[in-house]
């Protein structure tokens, strides 16, 4: 199977998802786990299914090839956020090693499924190394930025750099702030969403100055998410293609900002699938193939 995920903005042709019916399983299962997972409230199972089906309908305006990870005993509700346990390169998949203990079974579940699909596994982050996909951002096919924080550590970054040495020419490490501490969901992609080769949505108050300046020096225009919309995941936007994106409803200032730059914006309702588990549209998806 042809795969290439070395882009955040190329048109998505093929995608890997996990439906909440296979992640949440039931209302009873959600009720038993939401506190331990750090959700703000228990997702309503039936509403989550409806929200997700609408989300997939929007994806289907661009994406033609959908693959769904099945339910598994080794995974829980967080597995709906499929961006984190696996990274897709043009040479195959890299299985992460989760910083959140409760998500430890997700990378191997992804690996088993991808192998059955015919996708090669390039390698896996192992031992005391930690790496989550939300900390990995492709600025172009050969330029990789990786956030170092509570979910991704130095050894995880070292192993990723080794695995991608034949694929990446420019590899930069971005130290992340403490922000709300190790229990919070905070990744590099919490503060940057590429929209086009020369345009990114950012939240600069939490962005390291050297990294921000490096982006500007690369010729990237930075659109500043309003402070009022950062808590509602205004900065978590999925580019389906250059300047065509999908975002969580309820961030009108950010939407207007994007549209002022000629970006086509589609919105989805995600009170159950996104807000309560703090996972936006990028978190819910793992593109398998993006085209330039």
Query: In this predicted structure, what is the pLDDT of residue 9?
Result: 98
Residue 253 lies in a domain: yes
Specify the higher pLDDT residue, 181 or 27.
27
Average pLDDT on 22-35 reads: 97
Q: Which domain holds residue 76?
A: 11-291
Query: In this predicted structure, what is the pLDDT of residue 105?
Result: 97
Residue found by looking up tokens 């086009």 in the block:
196
Distance, in Å, from the CA atom of 146 to the CA atom of 133, rounded to the nearest integer, reads 9
Is 0.75 surpassed by the pTM of this model?
Answer: yes
Q: How confident is the model at residue 292 (pLDDT cuts 50, 70, 90)?
A: confident
List, in sequence order, the alpha helices (H) in 60-149: 106-117
Q: How confident is the model at residue 6 (pLDDT cuts 50, 70, 90)?
A: very high
Given a cut of 90, is residue 46 above it in pLDDT?
A: yes
Residue 6 lies in a domain: no
Percentage of the chain beyond pLDDT 70 is 100
Q: How confident is the model at residue 1 (pLDDT cuts 50, 70, 90)?
A: confident
Average pLDDT for the chain:
97
Residue 166 lies in a domain: yes
Backbone phi, psi, residue 67, to 5°: -130, 140
Q: How confident is the model at residue 183 (pLDDT cuts 50, 70, 90)?
A: confident
Backbone phi, psi, residue 210, to 5°: -60, -40
Residue found by looking up tokens 């509602």 in the block:
232
* Structure confidence by residue, pLDDT tens digits, 114-171: 999 999 999 999 999 999 999 999 999 999 999 999 999 999 999 999 999 999 999 9
Residue 4 lies in a domain: no
| Total tally of structural domains belonging to the chain | 1
Residue 1 lies in a domain: no
CA atoms within 13 A on the CB side of 205: 9
Query: In this predicted structure, what is the pLDDT of residue 192?
Result: 98
* Structure confidence by residue, pLDDT tens digits, 53-94: 999 999 999 999 999 999 999 999 999 999 999 999 999 999
Residue 218 lies in a domain: yes
* Structure confidence by residue, pLDDT tens digits, 221-249: 999 999 999 999 999 999 999 999 999 99
Residue 36 maps to which CATH number? 3.75.10.10
Residue 2 lies in a domain: no
Query: In this predicted structure, what is the pLDDT of residue 28?
Result: 97
Residue 36 lies in a domain: yes
């Amino acid at each position: 199977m042809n795969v290439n995920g070395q882009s955040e903005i190329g048109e998505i042709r093929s995608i890997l998802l996990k439906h909440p019916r296979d992640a949440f399983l039931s209302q009873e299962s959600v009720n038993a786990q939401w506190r331990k997972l750090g959700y703000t409230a228990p997702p309503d199972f039936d509403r989550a299914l409806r929200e997700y089906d609408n989300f997939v309908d929007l994806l289907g305006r661009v994406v033609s090839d959908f693959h769904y990870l099945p339910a598994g005993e080794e995974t829980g509700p967080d597995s709906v956020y499929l961006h984190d346990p696996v990274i897709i390169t043009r040479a195959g998949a890299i299985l992460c090693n989760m910083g959140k203990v409760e998500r430890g079974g997700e990378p191997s579940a992804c690996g088993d499924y991808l192998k059955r699909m015919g996708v090669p596994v390039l390698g896996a982050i192992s031992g005391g190394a930690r790496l989550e996909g939300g900390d990995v951002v492709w600025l172009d096919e050969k330029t990789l930025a990786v956030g170092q924080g509570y979910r991704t550590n130095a050894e995880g970054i070292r192993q990723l750099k080794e695995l991608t040495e034949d694929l990446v020419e420019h590899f930069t490490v971005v130290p992340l702030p403490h922000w709300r501490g190790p229990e919070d969901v905070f990744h590099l992609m919490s503060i940057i969403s590429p929209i086009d080769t020369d345009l990114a949505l950012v939240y600069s108050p939490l962005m390291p100055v050297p990294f921000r300046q490096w982006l500007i020096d690369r010729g990237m225009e930075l659109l500043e998410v309003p402070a009022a919309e950062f808590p509602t995941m205004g900065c978590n936007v999925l580019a389906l293609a250059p300047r065509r994106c999908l975002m969580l409803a309820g961030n009108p200032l950010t939407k207007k900002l994007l549209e002022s730059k000629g970006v086509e914006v589609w919105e989805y309702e995600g009170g159950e699938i996104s807000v309560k588990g703090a996972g936006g549209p990028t978190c819910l998806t793992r593109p398998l193939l993006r085209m330039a």
